[in-house]
Amino acid sequence: MNPVLAVTDLKKHFPIKKGLLNKEVGKVHAVDGVSFSLERGKTLGLVGESGCGKSTVARTILRLLDPTSGKVLINGTDVTHLSNKELRPIRRQAQIIFQDPFSSLDPRMTAEDIVGELLTVHEKLTKQEIRARVASLFEKVGLRTDQLKNYPHEFSGGQRQRLGIARALSLDPDVIICDEPVSALDVSIQAQVINLLVDLQDEMGIAYLFVAHDLAVVEHISHQVAVMYLGRIVEMADRDRIFQNAQHPYTESLLAAVPVPVPGRATERQILAGDVPSPIIRPSGCHFQTRCPYATERCRVEEPVLKTVTPGHEVACHLR
């Protein structure tokens, strides 16, 4: 089966310019050679600390940012060089849910207009047909149809995220990029939204790229997990292997921060110290060497490449 989303060696570098002549003096290597693919009906959890580049990956895939290089195929179409007009049909196939539903929903529009906006732009439907579609989307995401005329501020945080999901579903997409969709919500509401996404996936066969900074959040929803550090994937495998047999020291550290003990998961893990280094001046060799408890001289001079350690399990570390 062809993947619904295939990303190959994606890079997004932001130039740093200074002075009167606006001369380029450096680059922020936000995304630096990311590759993965996503099958229909599956979820890839993309995880890493703030500043690791995961949200830039999400936005570059949908061309909210233009990539520096690399390829993004959505249902087999390379979208990296398409014009806005050429992207139009692709936007039906791939949608996004943002972290903060409040700032991503126009406060002057009613819920009905927000959820129906894409239908108005992309489909030739009458007002009544759009209203009926919006009402059915409301029911699908667990909102009441008597809330159709309400404005975003009249909804709770969880309900606003449901509105964002209804809007993303409106064109029946094949893939939804979920950019930290539950990070701004209370823990109890997080579970409800994740369960809703899982139910919708079972019902509609949608694929999700689910971006989060916390491994615990992606555990329930992901089939595969990719861990990012300073713009690169350092470990990628199916969910169970990541949670039960993590191979990269950075993944181990992220797991150590997961509060709920899982039977079979090793307990003696290093808690991560310090912050992610600057993506402008990255550490030499392995980018994780400044925080890694196992770093050796080799790690300081030689960059590890992502390699297959067992079929379906890739790790970028000299120890593997």
Any contact of residue 169 with ligand SF4 (CB under 6 A)? Answer: no
Say what the alpha-carbon torsion angle 69, 62, 203, 145 is, to the nearest 10 degrees: 170
Q: What is the rounded radius of gyration, in angstroms, for the C-alpha atoms of the chain?
A: 21
Among 292, 306, 313, 314, binds ligand SF4 (CB under 6 A): 292
Of 3-11, 93-101, 253-261, 282-290, the window that binds ligand SF4 (rule: CB under 6 A) is 282-290
Residue among 216 and 286 whose Cβ is closer to ligand SF4 = 286
Any contact of residue 305 with ligand SF4 (CB under 6 A)? Answer: no
Segment 66-125, which members bind ligand SF4 (CB under 6 A)? none
Any contact of residue 38 with ligand SF4 (CB under 6 A)? Answer: no
Question: HEC states along the chain?
Answer: CCCCEEEEEEEEEEEEEECCCCEEEEEEEEEEEEEEEECCCCEEEEECCCCCCHHHHHHHHCCCCCCCEEEEEECCEECCCCCHHHHHHHHHHEEEECCCHHHHCCCCCCHHHHHHHHHHHHCCCCHHHHHHHHHHHHHHCCCCHHHCCCCHHHCCHHHHHHHHHHHHHCCCCCEEEEECCCCCCCHHHHHHHHHHHHHHHHHHCCEEEEEECCHHHHHCCCCEEEEEECCEEEEEEEHHHHHHCCCCHHHHHHHHCCCCCCCCCCCCCCCCCCCCCCCCCCCCCCCCCCCCCCCCHHHHHCCCCCEEEECCEEECCCCC
Any contact of residue 249 with ligand SF4 (CB under 6 A)? Answer: yes
Among 138, 155, 210, 288, binds ligand SF4 (CB under 6 A): 288
Counting Cα atoms < 13 Å in the Cβ hemisphere of 252 gives 18
Any contact of residue 317 with ligand SF4 (CB under 6 A)? Answer: yes
Of 105-113, 164-172, 268-276, 286-294, the window that binds ligand SF4 (rule: CB under 6 A) is 286-294
Any contact of residue 289 with ligand SF4 (CB under 6 A)? Answer: yes
Residue among 152 and 285 whose Cβ is closer to ligand SF4 = 285
Among 304, 306, 313, 314, binds ligand SF4 (CB under 6 A): 304
Any contact of residue 141 with ligand SF4 (CB under 6 A)? Answer: no
Any contact of residue 299 with ligand SF4 (CB under 6 A)? Answer: yes
Write out the two tokens for 288: 């994780």
Of 105-113, 205-213, 266-274, 288-296, the window that binds ligand SF4 (rule: CB under 6 A) is 288-296
From the CB of 14, what's the least distance to ligand SF4, in Å? 25
Residue among 182 and 315 whose Cβ is closer to ligand SF4 = 315
From the CB of 180, what's the least distance to ligand SF4, in Å? 25
Size of the site for ligand SF4 (CB under 6 A): 12
Any contact of residue 283 with ligand SF4 (CB under 6 A)? Answer: no
Residue among 213 and 318 whose Cβ is closer to ligand SF4 = 318
φ, ψ (nearest 5 deg) of residue 42: -115, 165
Among 166, 218, 227, 286, binds ligand SF4 (CB under 6 A): 286
Residues near ligand SF4 (CB under 6 A) = 249, 286, 288-289, 292, 294-295, 299, 304, 317-319
